[in-house]
Structure 1
């Protein structure tokens, strides 16, 4: 438990169920603290390893920390903006509020009102920024480039996963559901693999609730095509960086996405990426000169087949794109860069 007197930034998490927002908080807080930010979390659903404060500690917010005119409250959901507005505007506590938006749609009137009351707004992509009607700072997500990195020996990495070291593998990782475009990936593989015996495919991720039937239907399609041994559904794994290291090509086939980290995770592992034009994918994947992969229209099976064939059939192109992606993620998308940019927003708000 953190001492509120030594906390300058509060990161609330008012949702028990694990989500992308929760995962972002879990990954960023230790990095931000390592960079010198005095930040602590508030709320349920977070690991005990993170420094946290209690709700009763909020009574101390009438007093500012030493050397600061206020504290910062970093909200990422509507339910986290509202109490901060009450604390600041109705109770007169010494607080300034930051909101991070990942939404890529028109905001409701209620959301617009809450956002209008913020002291600073962060957008996670240029597309997100276009939907905001207030000044904002674009800060793209980053990833842990120490956790996601290329294998020393690709054949050994494949063998460790029970894969054939002599096969090339194309992967699709994430929740198995229609929104994620898993069916597009499977259908493209059914069209491409029969005439490419050196390639196989991996679907890594979990289907939950109503999506289990969707996954079972996809497995039936694969079986009917006679490709059960070459399009593998491996389920959800905690060692997902190891599965990236077993790939030669990655596809992000989503129909919709808020941001989407999988292309960055693949590129950080030296794997070229084919991604649909959703979320922040077009801001992550470089096409043309210095390409790291390709960006295609969402929900376009033919475009996916053509783009995938182009990389499957060109070893040199894959090698070059993989190297470009590795360099790009290390230079521009390390999570430390994201943490520094966010900390800079805090510092501007806490200047005397």
Structure 2
């Protein structure tokens, strides 16, 4: 059932049907924000049935103010959501204030810069993404749900339960494509696994039709090396969380990235991480939890992996450290609280709460 619009003070739109990192962020954050007392709902297609949301018809009632505030907040994360917010606030005179979260790590196009300048508050998901913004902003890095992503607890969580060869697993998860660096991971495994027979490589994630030839070519290279039983493509798995728990080492070799949550998910599962310096990876990994290498540098990636394969106890130690680091610095509650503080500053600046 759609939420009564009079009760909603913050709308977090999702104007994209396909699952994306932005959609995943919205899906994870909103239930937690509600538990923290925020009157927030989302709007848009392709969202889970149980997520608090408003209907499209509710947009016609945004001229009416919420029960406890003089204005509502519209939290955009994409350009089209910013456009909708600016039109509603400035053209239709709807009592809205606009918040935008930017994850992009590139120079923005002129129109995007114009939109961002018309926001009432801007959040950057990393210091690097913030460096491309030409206006004041708050850096709030994404967090991870440490209740959902956690270390192994049962025998089923152990790699031995898979029945796959070897004693230890190294994994690379996410969409299979050149941008994600799947080929860099495969090349490193082809070079290293013959020297480390206790290790098996796991690749999990969706391959779209557009990238099927890319995956097929990787499988040809693996077969030519005689490693088809030790470098495995699982495709999309029903529950990726258990596979993080089964790994001893996780690799995130992206050539470019917006933010990139997978290293945090791995570290929350007590798994050491090697990542490129794409996205926010370098800002989430610290010495003793893993290693960061230049994006696109296959040789550097290979040599960063080698010490962990040679010494599984190093991977275990760094995994322990990673778990402590993530639980301290990247719980989802910390992200939700920081966003809530931004909301409250905008409310205080632009309107007075009523009935308090």
Considering the TM-score relative to the shorter chain, is it more than 0.5?
yes
- Alignment check: 8 A CA contact 1:169 1:200 kept: yes
Query: Cα deviation per residue 1:219-251 (whole Å; 9 max; x = unaligned)?
Result: 111111011111111111121011111111111
Partners of 2:234 and 2:343 in 1: how far apart?
42
- Of 320, 325, 332, which aligns to 2:322? 325
- Of 289, 292, 300, which aligns to 1:303? 300
**Where in structure 1 do 4 or more consecutive aligned residues deviate above 6 Å?**
none
Give 1:191's aligned residue: 191
Shift of 1:155: 7.7
Give 2:128's aligned residue: 127
Q: Which moved more, 1:90-99 or 1:102-111?
A: 90-99
- Alignment check: 8 A CA contact 2:83 2:115 kept: yes
Partners of 1:60 and 1:155 in 2: how far apart?
50
Aligned residues: 348
Sort the Cα spacing of 1:178 and 1:154 in 2 relative to 1 into closer, same or farther, 3 A.
farther
Give 1:111's aligned residue: 112
Shift of 1:3: 0.3
Give 1:284's aligned residue: 284
Partners of 1:179 and 1:87 in 2: how far apart?
36
Q: Does 1:46 align with 2:47?
A: yes
Query: Cα deviation per residue 1:137-193 (whole Å; 9 max; x = unaligned)?
Result: 1110111111111112568622333334x5111111111111110011001001001
- Alignment check: 8 A CA contact 2:103 2:259 kept: yes
Partner SS for 1:172: strand
TM-score (norm 2): 0.95
Partners of 1:332 and 1:156 in 2: how far apart?
25
Partners of 1:350 and 1:20 in 2: how far apart?
27
Structure 2 unmatched runs, 5+: none
**In angstroms, what is the RMSD of aligned CA positions?**
1.4
Q: Does 1:94 align with 2:95?
A: yes
Give 1:249's aligned residue: 249
Q: Which moved more, 1:18-27 or 1:136-145?
A: 18-27
- Alignment check: 8 A CA contact 1:151 1:269 kept: yes
Give 1:60's aligned residue: 61
- Alignment check: 8 A CA contact 2:140 2:338 kept: yes
Partner SS for 1:188: helix
Give 1:80's aligned residue: 81
Shift of 1:196: 1.0
Give 1:268's aligned residue: 268
Partners of 2:70 and 2:27 in 1: how far apart?
27
- Of 335, 339, 343, which aligns to 1:342? 339
Partners of 1:152 and 1:55 in 2: how far apart?
43
Shift of 1:296: 0.4
Partners of 1:169 and 1:77 in 2: how far apart?
36
Q: Which moved more, 1:49-58 or 1:244-253?
A: 49-58
- Alignment check: 8 A CA contact 1:75 1:100 kept: yes
Partners of 1:320 and 1:157 in 2: how far apart?
17
- Alignment check: 8 A CA contact 2:159 2:169 kept: no
